[in-house]
Amino acid sequence: MRCFVALDLPPPVCNYLAGLRSHFGSMGQLRWVPADQLHLTLLFAGELPEAELPALQAAVASAPLRALQLHLAGLGHFPPRGEPRVLWAGLGGDLAGLAALHGHLTTATAELSVPREDRDFTPHITLGRVKSPFGALALVGKCAEVGATLRPKPFPAVALCLYSSVLRPSGPVHTPLLRRALPTV
């Protein structure tokens, strides 16, 4: 089963981010993530054997939760140099709290078949994936331009959620398996 653990965001933030697509036209033929599927991934478990699912659920259920105030902090792309393949929104705010939650999940799943990242944890919200190199390099300048207009208005993370993800030709379908509401400030 393909799984990941993420933070759900308030619907107004997701709708605002989805509205940014109007600034990009057809550059890179982006496949945009629908507003109702935008999230902040904390742990990508990948193709997890079903026998390990209860342990992953236990890791999510035991994660210490606290209120997390975040704000949007620009737009960027992966890879950071060269032709973009992924467009994302950066985050600011309680990054220490995000890192602690990510660290707990990483430690709690150390014995599972969860792939380990070689890179440092970079909190971001994936907005879209580039499907064509035509116009992709123009995205670099457009990310900087549009990202500079984002206001750092704070918002709370809503819930910690374990999702299953099924890949379809029309895009992935995410189904919540376990959701825990975060405390509010």
Q: Is 102 one of the catalytic residues?
A: no
User: Cα separation of 40 and 99, whole Å?
Assistant: 12
Beta carbons of 2 and 47 less than 8 angstroms apart: yes
Q: Is 124 one of the catalytic residues?
A: yes
Helix (H, G, I), strand (E, B) or coil at 71: strand
Helix (H, G, I), strand (E, B) or coil at 47: strand
Question: Which residue among 77, 102, 104, 124 is the active-site one?
Answer: 124
Question: Which residue among 23, 39, 71, 77 is the active-site one?
Answer: 39
DSSP string, 90-141: EEEE-HHHHHHHHHHHHHHTTTTTPPPPSSPP--EEEEEEE--STTTTHHHH
| Catalytic residue ranges | 39, 124
